[in-house]
Amino acid sequence: MQANEGKNLEIEIDGVTYIRIPVKTKVVGEGDTVPAVAKEFAGDIIQSGDVLFVSEKCVACTQKRAIFMKDIHPSRLARILCKFVYKSPYGIGLSIPETMEMALRECGRMRILWAAMCSAVCKLFGKRGVFYNIAGPKARSIDGPCDCTLPPYNECVVLGPADPDGVAGETAQAIGCKVCIVDLNDLGGAILGVSHENMDREFLLRVLRDNPLGQSRQQTPMGIIRKV
């Protein structure tokens, strides 16, 4: 088992130790479904009480929500707005015309414009993060291409997954344990979907907030939370 670089597979929450077990898979694409991939690669590892977590990018890639850069033709508005986006060392975000264009399509022009205006004002007072708070989870979940992403997705813009709760529920039925869909990075993350209403999203995020699994050369887009 290999953790994301600089991270540990074990974490202690409220005096209890949990291990995050990487599940290595094939390169997941349009011809796959998350329940089938989870059953094939995690089915024999799952134990009673485990929770399977699946990256949002893995889900999106099965839903034809990975769009090649060459197929995106950014508008003038996208080219202008992306210049004002903070360029994080942890990812492209909406700082290039192609990802900003997809945000405009996913969230609507008025919402993105309002988010940009509020962000510009708040930056004058030293407050960051306003743009994504207003633009919402669809904008936050858009990933741009980067060198560490597995081909062919290193040439794609990947949108957030559709119906993450539904995908989590279908996957749970296929493998017999609780499932959550996660959007994690080195700045934090979010729990986008859960298979059961009684799952504590805040607790799950505390367990996974440090982004323990790698999704590039490690090829582990899903993992298992297990109480030690």
The 3-state secondary structure of 111-153 reads: HHHHHHHHHHHHHCCCCCCHHHHHHCHHHHCCECCCCCCCCCH
Contact criterion met (CB below 8 Å) for 167 and 34? yes
Rounded CA separation 195/181 (Å): 9
Quote the pLDDT of residue 153.
Answer: 87
CB-side neighbour CA atoms (13 Å) of 97? 12
Sketch out the chain's domains with CATH numbers: 10-65+161-227 (3.30.1330.100), 66-158 (no CATH)
Quote the pLDDT of residue 197.
Answer: 95
Q: How many residues does the chain have?
A: 228
Quote the pLDDT of residue 186.
Answer: 63
CB-side neighbour CA atoms (13 Å) of 27? 8
Quote the pLDDT of residue 215.
Answer: 54
166: tokens are 């539904």
Quote the pLDDT of residue 174.
Answer: 97
3-state secondary structure of 203: helix
Quote the pLDDT of residue 148.
Answer: 72
Bridge partners of residue 223, in order along the sequence:
22, 53
Q: Which strands form 51-55's sheet, in the order they lie side by side?
A: 10-13, 16-23, 222-227, 51-55, 178-185, 188-194
Quote the pLDDT of residue 41.
Answer: 96
Quote the pLDDT of residue 160.
Answer: 93
Quote the pLDDT of residue 140.
Answer: 87
Quote the pLDDT of residue 99.
Answer: 95
The 3-state secondary structure of 177-212 reads: CEEEEEEEECCEEEEEEECCCCCCHHHHHHHHCCCC
* Reported pTM: 0.88
Quote the pLDDT of residue 218.
Answer: 60
101: tokens are 């264009």
Residue type, 125: F
Quote the pLDDT of residue 123.
Answer: 84
Mean pLDDT, consecutive 10-residue stretches, the chain (228 aa), reads 67 95 91 96 95 95 95 96 76 88 96 92 85 89 82 90 97 97 80 96 94 70 94
